[in-house]
Amino acid sequence: MADSSLQILNSVFGYAGFRGDQQAIIERVSSGSDALVLMPTGGGKSLCYQIPALIRPGTAIVVSPLIALMQDQVEALHQLGVEAAFLNSSLDVGAQREVEQRLRAGDLKLLYVAPERLLTGRFLDLLEQVEVSLFAIDEAHCVSQWGHDFRPEYRQLTILHERFSQVPRIALTATADEPTRREIIERLGLESARSFVASFDRPNIRYSVVEKDNPRRQLKDFLARHRDEAGIVYCLSRNKVDATAAALVDDGFLALPYHAGMSAESRAANQQRFLREDAIIMVATIAFGMGIDKPDVRFVAHLDLPKSLEGYYQETGRAGRDGLTSEAWMTYGLADVVTLSQFISKSDAGEERKRVERNKLNALIGFAESTGCRRRQLLSYFGESPAGDCGNCDNCMDPPQTWDATQAAQKALSCVYRTGQRFGVKHLIDVLRGIDGEKVAKFDHDRLSTFGIGAEFDDRQWSAIFRQLVAMGLLAPDDEGYGTLRLVDASRAVLRGETEVRMRHVADKLERKAKTKSVRSERKTQTLEIAPHESRLWESLRNTRARLAKDQGVPAYRIFTDATLLQMLREHPQSLSELATISGVGEMKLARYGEAFLGVLTAF
Ligand code: ADP
Ligand code: ZN
């Protein structure tokens, strides 16, 4: 068995070895037992049921919640020469009949179906007449009522076990938390399944959080480091999506908007372009993402704070499925914290729910303000205990300096108190810096003892101080959402001098950038940095790929991923048998595309 699964991995998929638990999972399912697989996005879940489907006699039935995902997977399998099809509402009656015919005839190794289709009496009867090799339940977290992807039909899938008790089942998800996992086991009757829980680390993603200063300019500086690469920019509101996309287009970037306020057609058209073309920047609300299987998303940028760390991890996880170096980048400022706490206070959820939401927001702020390794903090939040710091996040690469901010905190808190706890940061800073504005005059705040006691810091420094005071729970934004700040119990100890307050320095940006660069070249993960002397060959390889993709109307990555192309560039194979050793070049792709790429490789 071990031999045949490895052999299929080599010949069909063109990969040299298994990752993590893949082999153990494949062996278990191939031998007829159940499995539950929890792996992060890009971890390699599909192979875990595709290889058993090729090993076992009969047809594997794959339950999948999204039409786009099914089409994508079937397209990928066709490229590998595997007989696969899907059944869903996108097919007309004639095409559906044809697929059913092929199923009856035993021509299919894999059939992807939507759950509502699978559960019809007619389809279940049909399944009883054919040989089913296994059931794979993809995106298994859809059984969970608490998740945002809840699909009621998923709960009826226990019928598979009742009617086909001899057929092994494998359930797969990228949702990590324990309650969801328990719910999957219970709802799908998977008590006898062995659980395989992979680490949720995504080592090729670099995390960084920058203090929000001039977000649009900061975004452009960030994008300048990602020329000709595909990525996603998340914003909180539809208006901001539209405005940001338009501003980027004005500056010569290839950016498209995506949000729920657009017509279904223009959304679908933009999504299609993002998937098919090489280097589109999608500016989107979180309506964009589910079912985006594009492997070469090089960055995910957040212009606003996401709703929770779970959301952040899921959104950033869309970067770097292909394993190449990718970036998760976020701007963060006090206004974000205020907006989100406002959302929570104003929602009509019950108190219990609000408390949960506040805790989630606090975890997120803790992450954004953290001075330690970001990856460690993320993974511990998800219940893992990483052995050390990652070396691939902003804080690891350029450890932030902290300073004793006790006195500054006292000045700030006392200014909040003296002004009556009913002003926002802007005014508070004016008072501290002794700036004689209209508002200061109106309220006679130039007569306060705190007027002008903070002239040693500028606006930006004070706003960083206030932000950190809120993040540390030493100041609270009002519930009504006016952006005013008030004292809390913990403020008192600071004012009395009983607690020391340490804060991070506002980094000197130029210095930070320079440092980032030097560390970058030391990283082990493969980077898509093309040296000048390689660029002509690289362009030719990419053009060849684009041409082949266009002929068939499939996305470029469907032919070969960037990772495969990069290995061709570096190893420069000169014969078909050398080309076959490149990861991602299986027998079928070698036969179909080998000559075309070899033509390019031998010309250089
Ligand atoms: P998931 O469904 O877990 O998000 P995929 O199954 O789409 O991940 O796999 C992510 C990428 O990794 C795909 O391009 C896949 O072909 C590749 N991959 C999976 N397993 C291996 C392996 N053992 N060796 C090399 N590449 C792999
Ligand atoms: Zn780190």
DSSP letters, 421-453, are S--BHHHHHHHHHT---HHHHHTTGGGSTTTTT
Q: Is the four-CA dihedral 20, 26, 29, 32 of positive or negative sign?
A: negative
Which parts of the chain register pLDDT below 50? 1-2, 508-523
Give the distance (Å) from ligand 1 centre to CA of residue 39: 11
Looking at CATH, the fold of the domain delimited by 402-504 is given as: Arc Repressor Mutant, subunit A (1.10.10)
**Which residue's CA is the nearest one to ligand 1's atom 12?**
44
Q: Tell me if 45 CB under 6 Å of ligand 1.
A: yes
Q: Which of 8, 10, 12, 13 to mutate to test the pocket of ligand 1 (most atoms within 8 A of CB)?
A: 13
Q: Which of 10, 47, 297, 525 to mutate to test the pocket of ligand 1 (most atoms within 8 A of CB)?
A: 47
pLDDT of residue 481: 63
Query: What CATH number was assigned to the domain covering residues 205-397?
Result: 3.40.50.300
> Quick one: which ligand is closest to 519's CA?
2
Q: Tell me if 20 CB under 6 Å of ligand 1.
A: no
pLDDT of residue 149: 78
Give the distance (Å) from ligand 2 centre to CA of residue 200: 15
| Pairwise CA distance, residues 260 & 258, whole Å | 7
Neighbours of 362 (CB within 10 A): 14
**Which residue's CA is the nearest one to ligand 1's atom 15?**
44
The domain ranges of the chain are 2-197, 205-397, 402-504, 532-602
Q: Which tokens in the block code for residue 281?
A: 């920047």
In this structure, the dihedral spanned by the alpha carbons of residues 161, 163, 168 and 170, taken in order and rounded to 10 degrees, is -50
> Quick one: which ligand is closest to 390's CA?
2
Neighbours of 472 (CB within 10 A): 19
Rounded to two decimals, the pTM is: 0.82
Q: Which tokens in the block code for residue 385?
A: 């205990």
* Domains 2-197 and 205-397 equal at CATH topology level: yes
Q: Tell me if 23 CB under 6 Å of ligand 1.
A: no
141-142-147 Cα angle (round to 5): 75
**Nearest ligand 1 atom to alpha carbon 9:** 23
In sequence order, the 6+-apart residues with CB closer than 8 A to the CB of 43 are 19, 20, 174, 198
For the chain, the maximum distance between any two Cα atoms, rounded to a whole number of angstroms, is 90
**Which residue's CA is the nearest one to ligand 1's atom 17?**
44
**Nearest ligand 1 atom to alpha carbon 295:** 14
Phi, psi (degrees; rounded to nearest 5) at 507: -70, 145
**Nearest ligand 1 atom to alpha carbon 47:** 6
- Residue 198 half-sphere exposure, CB side, CA atoms within 13 Å? 25
Chain centre to alpha carbon of residue 216: 22
Query: What residues sit around ligand 2, an ion, with C-beta below 5 angstroms?
Result: 373, 375, 389-390, 393, 396
Q: Which tokens in the block code for residue 299?
A: 């960055």
Q: Tell me if 43 CB under 6 Å of ligand 1.
A: yes
207-212-217 Cα angle (round to 5): 95
| Pairwise CA distance, residues 479 & 468, whole Å | 19
Give the distance (Å) from ligand 1 centre to CA of residue 314: 17
Short-list 310, 301, 361, 309, CA closest to 331: 301
Contact present, 396 and 390 (Cβ < 8 Å): yes
Q: Tell me if 586 CB under 6 Å of ligand 1.
A: no
pLDDT of residue 3: 58
**Which residue's CA is the nearest one to ligand 1's atom 16?**
44
Short-list 93, 92, 53, 103, CA closest to 73: 53
> Quick one: which ligand is closest to 205's CA?
2
Alpha helix positions (H), 9-92:
22-30, 46-55, 67-79
Short-list 333, 337, 458, 447, CA closest to 408: 458
**Nearest ligand 1 atom to alpha carbon 18:** 23
Q: Which tokens in the block code for residue 269?
A: 């058209």
Q: Tell me if 559 CB under 6 Å of ligand 1.
A: no
Query: 312 by DSSP, 3-state: which?
Result: helix
Q: Which tokens in the block code for residue 170?
A: 């494998």
Contact present, 34 and 194 (Cβ < 8 Å): yes
Give the distance (Å) from ligand 2 centre to CA of residue 398: 10
Q: Determine what percent of the chain falls in helix, strand and coil, rounding each to the nearest 5.
A: 50, 15, 35
Give the distance (Å) from ligand 2 centre to CA of residue 223: 22
Short-list 75, 82, 141, CA closest to 108: 82
Q: Tell me if 295 CB under 6 Å of ligand 1.
A: yes
| Pairwise CA distance, residues 42 & 64, whole Å | 17
**Locate tokens 């971890």: which residue?**
43
Give the distance (Å) from ligand 1 centre to CA of residue 46: 7
Q: Which letter does DSSP use for residue 581 in this model?
A: T
Q: Tell me if 41 CB under 6 Å of ligand 1.
A: yes
Q: Tell me if 18 CB under 6 Å of ligand 1.
A: yes
pLDDT of residue 516: 41
**Which residue's CA is the nearest one to ligand 1's atom 23?**
18
Q: Which of 8, 11, 19, 290 to mutate to test the pocket of ligand 1 (most atoms within 8 A of CB)?
A: 19
Give the distance (Å) from ligand 2 centre to CA of residue 525: 14
Short-list 203, 223, 209, CA closest to 392: 203
Looking at CATH, the fold of the domain delimited by 2-197 is given as: Rossmann fold (3.40.50)
| Pairwise CA distance, residues 350 & 433, whole Å | 41
CATH 1.10.3130.10 fits domain 532-602: no
pLDDT of residue 231: 97
